[in-house]
């Protein structure tokens, strides 16, 4: 067992290969096959089902029984294993660096559509005012989302995410003209991400993307975690009980990824006392110990 735990820890800090780094940089997204093995996938799906049942009892499900719940990482203990999952975590620190946390997470459950949804334009970039307050072309990436696929989305038409590869380099997307039925055609070059249960995909927040209608007989279940810099505010309304047994049971790294910090300056990566990089930030400490800090990449220095 100790060897297994050591290997898991090592996998968490195995740098991503050049091909994966290049694919993500060029396309704005990357599919990670078998991110969750079947036992882990089943645990996460069971947690999603518990949240779904709770929301249903509270009368908070949407049209057709759909669910979109924020603050996923705080809704069930099972979701904490996604924070630093060895198959996906290297892509987060590999592209964003060590001063990161999960500021936004959500669970999506979309049963089969009973009827075709009303036509509307749903293409967007994530980030809200980040896409309006900065006059730059392109704007900074700022965050990366990881989407964990729990259902069989191997075929199109099951509510898969639509993406426009390479569009993260453009601040705007020209809207297509609706047809006679009012439906907006997909922008040229659109890809519908198809994935098997247990797969995951990561994407640059600037990538133009859209949901698609679930016109199958399968309920689409997914969990999304969005990683950003610790100097960016929370997107979700959450309350952390730092005296709870659950919080105390978490590793320092997971507490960092859930927003912890010793002082305000820590969120900017330095200490007030020294004025230099804070080597006590758990992810920085891990990367430094393993010789993975890299001055040639500004976010890993």
Domains observed in the chain: 2-263 (2.60.120.620)
What's the pLDDT score for residue 109? Answer: 98
What's the pLDDT score for residue 181? Answer: 86
Helix (H) / strand (E) containing 24? helix 18-27
For 132-146, what is each residue's pLDDT tens digit? 999 999 999 999 999
What's the pLDDT score for residue 275? Answer: 79
CA–CA gap between residue 30 and residue 27 (Å, rounded): 8
pTM: 0.95
What's the pLDDT score for residue 118? Answer: 81
What's the pLDDT score for residue 1? Answer: 47
What's the pLDDT score for residue 162? Answer: 98
- Pairing between strand 67-70 and 29-32? unpaired
The alpha carbon of 43 is separated from its chain's Cα centroid by a whole number of angstroms, namely 18
- Pairing between strand 220-229 and 143-149? antiparallel
What is the C-alpha R_g of the chain? 20
Residues lower than pLDDT 50 in the chain: 1-2
Ranges assigned E (strand) in the chain? 29-32, 67-70, 100-110, 143-149, 162-163, 191-192, 200-204, 209-210, 220-229
Assign 110 to helix, strand or coil. Answer: strand
């Amino acid at each position: 067992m100790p060897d297994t735990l050591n290997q898991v820890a090592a996998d968490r800090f195995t740098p991503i290969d050049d091909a994966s780094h290049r694919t993500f940089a060029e396309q704005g997204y990357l599919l990670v096959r078998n991110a969750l093995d079947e036992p882990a996938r089943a645990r996460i799906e069971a947690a999603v089902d518990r949240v779904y049942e709770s929301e249903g009892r509270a009368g908070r499900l949407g049209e057709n029984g759909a669910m979109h719940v924020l603050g996923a990482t705080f809704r069930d203990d099972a979701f904490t294993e996604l924070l630093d999952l060895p198959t996906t975590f290297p892509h987060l620190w590999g592209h964003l660096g060590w001063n990161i946390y999960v500021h936004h997470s959500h669970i999506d459950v979309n049963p089969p559509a009973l009827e075709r949804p009303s036509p509307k334009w749903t293409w967007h970039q994530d980030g809200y005012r980040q896409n309006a307050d900065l006059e730059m072309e392109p704007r900074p990436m700022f965050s990366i989302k990881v989407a964990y696929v729990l259902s069989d989305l191997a075929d199109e038409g099951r509510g898969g995410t639509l993406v426009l590869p390479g569009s993260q380099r453009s601040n705007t997307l020209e809207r297509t003209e609706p047809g006679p039925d009012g439906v907006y055609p997909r922008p040229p070059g659109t890809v519908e991400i198809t994935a098997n249960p247990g797969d995951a995909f990561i994407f640059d927040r600037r990538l133009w993307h859209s949901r698609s209608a679930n016109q199958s007989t399968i309920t689409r279940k997914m969990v999304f975690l969005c990683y950003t810099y610790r100097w960016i505010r929370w997107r979700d309304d959450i309350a952390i009980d730092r005296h709870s047994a659950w919080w105390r049971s978490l590793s320092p790294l997971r507490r960092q990824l859930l927003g912890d910090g010793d002082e305000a300056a820590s969120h900017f990566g330095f200490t007030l006392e020294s004025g230099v990089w804070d080597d006590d930030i758990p992810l920085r400490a891990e990367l430094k110990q393993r010789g993975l800090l890299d001055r040639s990449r500004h976010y890993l220095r």
